[in-house]
Chains A and B, each alone.
Chain A
């Protein structure tokens, strides 16, 4: 079934059309990659889905039942859509586990239960040994993991990941990709992923959607996308070749 339906969504900023009449469906359990050059409207589309922006046109249907267009971010999160930010936003003066507890408190008001869930999530993303240090003393890679742990603690059905790999070394990226794969496989979370690291996203996603100048120019399996001339022209570059994995 479709967990998320994006229906003819348009978002303008003044005269600029950041997202132009975009429609697609996201199946439950799927991992959909969202690619496109800078300024293609990927993050704007994320912000529309997560409730940070109100779309000018179109609507977002969740779980085939709820029209969540224009709800505030915290309401959308309550429905089961969590997100991470391109520029990580840790609660700097709180400890790692306290950071994650904020997410866990969405589903429980009991502090012990929240802490149990939070430690579970912290363990899952591999920050177990750093659970009690302040978030401000984490490395960049650590902060990315923290973002994931916090989002996971809200028990989402859909996770929006905005450039989780940006700013990471190749080794760290490989580990994060592995972690994201686990999130889908072990926790059954549907994924919508913005990523610039092409190899990673091609291997991670079941399907790839390509945004260009705010328009959805293609949506298909990675192997098809890599051969799509329009996409290659617009974004991947002529010399692009799909790296085998």
Chain B
């Protein structure tokens, strides 16, 4: 009916710098262009297999080492991020004290080792409950009273807490970096027929006992946490609260209690991670900061509140960091060397822009 009395001219107002059609064409061109580049790259690779295999022969070990280290360390990142993402999922706060709490765990492990000669892998039985209780105290004392305040207040509270913890540690332990070394890190272990001689040599790469142990324990703890969340009543209550607070309250879940316990579990994750990383890192009062930032990125990468995503995100970030560091060495063209952390932020910004819902999230 509209077409019968078509007006003479219809003006199409412009929107943005370029008309929509032009922009669409540009985007199409860009997409074809990128596709073309990929094809060119593939063809070039096929034509130059010789050069590439020489290159790989030269640098393959470095790359494989980066991959192995990345995966091993990434699992611990995942564990730290899991705590953060759990807290975000249920309490909707970004916990800036997460890294500082990791440092607390590291100092506990250090003190146990120095003063009582406790093996760091056994000290998880202290750090996990200690950080769990600390988390509950923090939640009760600081987070809970501000639960109805504007969102940025919680962020500042955790910031104030981080300041407090970092500086209390500075007062207590001074800024001198502390570390522990395992007496058995270079021993041979016999597991039945297999003898493991640390550090292991796998395909030309070196796998240290410390990192392998961290990897195995991190995966184990991730499994335990996942089991708790999926199979136990507590876990179901936590997931229900994360999904729909009001709904959970309606079916009789005590939201305050769940918030408290979730915060505790979240900080217990860093308690575990702290004991696992201390054998191959050193601790000073701000040691947790790098983990904190990395954990934020992983949380966004894995989807805020997504526990499994945190593990995958952790592995991705671990790989990215290690590969980033070797890039200036292995690339056949000049590439500026820079700190690992920069790669984390680059990934972060890309994820924020292109997949803010995370790699596992649905649009």
Q: Which residues of A contact B (CB under 8 A)?
A: 2, 5-7, 23-25, 61, 64-68, 70-72, 75
Contact = CB atoms under 8 A, between A and B. Distances in A.
A65 B9 contact: yes
Given A6-B2, A61-B7, A65-B9, 20 more contacts: A2-B2, A5-B2, A7-B2, A23-B1, A24-B1, A25-B1, A25-B2, A61-B2, A61-B10, A65-B10, A66-B10, A66-B12, A66-B13, A67-B10, A67-B12, A70-B15, A70-B20, A71-B15, A75-B13, A75-B15
A61 B9 CA distance: 11
Chain A interface, >50% SS class:
strand
27 contacts: A2-B2, A5-B2, A6-B2, A7-B2, A7-B3, A24-B1, A25-B1, A61-B2, A61-B7, A61-B10, A64-B7, A65-B7, A65-B9, A65-B11, A66-B11, A66-B12, A66-B13, A67-B10, A67-B11, A67-B12, A67-B13, A68-B13, A70-B20, A71-B13, A72-B15, A75-B13, A75-B15
A3 to B, nearest CB: 13
Nearest to B12: A67
Nearest to A5: B2
A70 B83 CA distance: 43
Interface in B1-46: 1-3, 7, 9-13, 15, 20
Contacts of B15: 70-72, 75
A25 B2 CA distance: 7
Contacts of A72: 15
Contacts of A23: 1-2
Contacts, number: 34
B64 to A, nearest CB: 43
Contacts of B20: 70
Nearest to A65: B11
B7 to A, nearest CB: 5
A72 B13 CA distance: 11
Contacts of B2: 2, 5-7, 23, 25, 61
Contacts of A68: 13
Contacts of B7: 61, 64-65
Which 8 A-B pairs rank lowest in CB-CB distance, beginning with the nearest? A64-B7, A67-B12, A5-B2, A7-B2, A67-B10, A66-B11, A71-B15, A23-B2
Nearest to A51: B15
B96 to A, nearest CB: 26
Interface residues on B, range: 10 to 19
Contacts of B1: 23-25
Contacts of A67: 10-13
A7 B2 CA distance: 7
A74 to B, nearest CB: 10
A45 to B, nearest CB: 15
Nearest to A58: B2
A71 B1 CA distance: 24
From B3, B11, B13, name the one whose CB has the most chain A CB atoms within 10 angstroms.
Answer: B13
Contacts of B9: 65
Contacts of B13: 66-68, 71, 75
A61 to B, nearest CB: 6
Contacts of B12: 66-67
A237 B147 CA distance: 48
A194 B2 CA distance: 22
B109 to A, nearest CB: 48
A23 B3 CA distance: 10
A72 B16 CA distance: 10
Contacts of A66: 10-13
A25 B12 CA distance: 19
Contacts of A71: 13, 15
A193 to B, nearest CB: 21
Interface in B202-217: none
Contacts of A24: 1
Interface in B272-288: none
Contacts of B10: 61, 65-67
Contacts of A6: 2
Contacts of B3: 7
A37 to B, nearest CB: 24
B90 to A, nearest CB: 26
Nearest to A6: B2
Contacts of A65: 7, 9-11
A68 to B, nearest CB: 7
Contacts of A70: 15, 20
B363 to A, nearest CB: 10
B290 to A, nearest CB: 39
A2 B5 CA distance: 10
B280 to A, nearest CB: 48
A6 B1 CA distance: 10
Nearest to A71: B15
A26 B13 CA distance: 21
A68 B20 CA distance: 12
A65 B11 CA distance: 6
A151 to B, nearest CB: 21
Contacts of A7: 2-3
Nearest to B16: A72
Nearest to B5: A2
A166 B7 CA distance: 38
Nearest to A25: B2
